[in-house]
């Protein structure tokens, strides 16, 4: 459907812009509206702008269409749209772009030059509701500016001849921020990403908007993944490594998209210009991703975690009637990851429906999953791949349970100190039973816990 035509002038050459609105051949507009365009693209209806470049009103020299900036090229239903498929390299794109904005009732605010082009600081709103605020020079973005995309993300930086150049900041809708180097509007060069709390989560290089070369991925728990990414920017290859929170203990070997396939224990010896050097420990066993299921705790239940083995050991607890406990092998500062809590993965419904005697080694991972270390795996002779389940309860603990993304076990919990601990000190955590469950007179907890709570509360009142 032909909706409008408008003229603009550039260097005394007349441009007639003819705009068609429709859908791609064989695709209904309603289907297009359900597609999720990426930042910077436009939502339907898809638009093609045709221009007739004339040196006089009677003779048409060129009839072409141009896919305007950010507007997807498409095959519309009109015959004329199908036939005009070439570009003219000298097309006055700024005039075409401005005319289209006018036709869509999205004219730039505030300043225009003598040719009706945005000039100075302007705000331009596009048909997708994306908005650009920044400095224009005769229709092109030049100087500082910022895009506000329809999904809530933003991109700001310095523009030269309509393209972002140098340092730019892209903020995702979830608050993650990418600081990158842009060349002609594309990421090319060093970049860093930070999560919504300001913690570094990525450091490396980009090439043509794809991660490139040696890159580091940092997890909130303190671990990291490092290596030379593949052509798709993924942590895939034979020389990828996971580094534990101590910055030294590592697994080095073959990974696929960040998942450990076959790796050996190694030590990170140095990092120069972002490139790490590792030494593989002689005689190291082979480690691989081994996430538990509801029936299998581990395919190698007696293979200890090397990081954990350097920091904790199991011995008779100093707490009366507590059985075994978890102790520190080293003096450690506050916020040190000491141990890991892996186990079979079951549901909250399963835990709630069974007797408390079966829930002695359960811990909630998330709203759906509970980690459990059932018989016989609560005995070290049957399972010692992780030891976090050996930590006993205290109402004045020196540790907490914290989320951890483990290279072998996947998402689990770790035991992290909340204050400095001494060598051979017993590590304790607060088990966190609900003290005020709805519809009950007392805590939703086993009997031993309720007795301990009463004794603790009585002592606090003295």
The single residue listed with the structure tokens 């895009």 is: 147
The span from the CA of 108 to the CA of 133, in Å, is: 10
- Active-site residue among 42, 219, 307, 431? 431
- Active-site residue among 307, 341, 377, 383? 341
- Active-site residue among 119, 212, 389, 406? 389
Is 406 considered catalytic here? no
Instruction: State the CB neighbour count (10 A cutoff) for residue 22.
Output: 19
Is 51 considered catalytic here? no
Is 431 considered catalytic here? yes
- Active-site residue among 401, 406, 433, 449? 401
Cα 35 to its chain centre, rounded Å, is: 22
Is 393 considered catalytic here? yes
Phi first, then psi: give them for residue 366, nearest 5 degrees.
Answer: -155, -165
Is 218 considered catalytic here? no
The span from the CA of 370 to the CA of 343, in Å, is: 9
Token pair for residue 12? Answer: 């005394």
- Identify any residues that bridge with 313 across adjacent strands, giving them in sequence order: 327
- Active-site residue among 158, 179, 393, 449? 393
| Strands laid side by side in the 344-347 sheet | 344-347, 369-372, 362-364
Torsion 101-104-109-113 (CA) sign: positive
3-state SS track over the chain: CEEEEEEEEECCEEEEEEEEEECCCCCCHHHHHHCCCCCCCCCCCEEEEEEEEEEECCEEEEEEEECCCCCCCCCCCCHHHHHCCCCCCCCCHHHHHHHHHHHCCCCCCCCECCCCCECEEEEEECCCCCEEEEEEECCEEEEEEEEECCCCCEEEEEEECCEEEEEEEEECCCCCEEEEEEECCEEEEEEEEECCCCCEEEEEEEECCEEEEEEEEECCCCCEEEEECCCCCCCCEEEEEEECCCCCEEEEEEEECCEEEEEEEEEEEEEECCEEEEEECCCCCEECCCCCCCCCCCCCCCCCCHHHHCCEEEEECCCCCCCEEEEECCCECCCCEEEEECCEEEEHHHHHCCCHHHCCCEEECCCCEEEECCCCCCCCCCCCCCCHHHCEECCCCCEEEEEEEECCCEEEEEEEECCCECCCCEEEECCCCECCCCCCCCCECCHHHHHHHHHHHHHHHC
Active site residue ranges: 341, 389, 393, 401, 431
């Amino acid at each position: 459907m032909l909706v409008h035509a408008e003229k603009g002038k550039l260097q005394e050459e007349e441009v007639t812009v003819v705009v068609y609105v429709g859908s791609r051949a064989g695709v209904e507009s309603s289907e297009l509206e359900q597609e999720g365009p990426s930042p910077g693209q436009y939502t339907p209806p898809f638009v093609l702008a045709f221009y007739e470049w004339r040196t006089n009103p009677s003779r048409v020299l060129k009839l072409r269409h141009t896919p305007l900036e950010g507007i997807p090229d498409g095959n519309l239903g009109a015959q004329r749209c199908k036939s005009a498929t070439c570009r003219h390299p000298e097309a006055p794109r700024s005039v075409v772009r401005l005319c289209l904005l006018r036709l869509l009732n999205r004219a730039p605010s505030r300043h225009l030059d003598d040719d009706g082009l945005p000039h100075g600081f302007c705000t331009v709103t596009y048909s997708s509701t994306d908005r650009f605020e920044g400095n224009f020079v005769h229709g092109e973005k030049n100087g500082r500016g910022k895009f506000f995309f329809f999904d809530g993300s933003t991109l700001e930086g310095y523009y030269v001849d309509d393209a972002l150049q140098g340092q730019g900041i892209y903020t995702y809708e979830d608050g993650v921020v990418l600081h990158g180097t842009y060349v002609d509007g594309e990421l090319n060069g060093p970049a860093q990403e930070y999560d919504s709390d300001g913690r570094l989560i990525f450091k490396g290089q980009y090439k043509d908007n794809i991660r490139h070369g040696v890159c580091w991925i940092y997890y909130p728990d303190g671990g990291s993944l490092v290596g030379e990414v593949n052509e798709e920017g993924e942590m895939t290859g034979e020389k990828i490594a996971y580094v534990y929170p101590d910055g030294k203990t590592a697994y080095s070997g073959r990974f696929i998209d960040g998942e450990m396939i076959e790796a050996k224990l190694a030590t990170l010896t140095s990092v120069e210009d972002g490139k790490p050097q590792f030494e593989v420990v002689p005689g190291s066993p082979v480690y691989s991703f081994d996430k538990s299921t509801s029936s299998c705790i581990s395919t190698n239940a007696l293979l200890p975690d090397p990081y954990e083995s350097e920091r904790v050991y199991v011995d008779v607890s100093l707490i009366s009637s507590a059985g075994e406990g978890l102790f520190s092998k080293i003096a450690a500062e506050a916020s040190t990851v000491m141990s890991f809590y892996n186990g079979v993965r079951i549901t909250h419904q399963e835990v709630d429906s069974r007797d408390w005697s079966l829930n002695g080694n359960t811990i909630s991972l998330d709203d759906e999953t509970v980690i459990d270390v059932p018989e016989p795996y609560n005995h070290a002779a049957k399972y010692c791949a992780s030891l976090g389940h050996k930590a006993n309860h205290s109402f004045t603990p020196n540790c907490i349970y914290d989320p951890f993304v483990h290279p072998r076990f996947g998402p689990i919990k770790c035991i992290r100190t909340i204050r400095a601990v001494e060598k051979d000190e017993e590590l304790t955590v607060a088990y966190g039973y609900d003290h005020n469950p709805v519809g009950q007179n007392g805590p939703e907890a086993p009997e031993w816990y309720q007795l301990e709570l009463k004794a603790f509360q009585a002592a606090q009142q003295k």
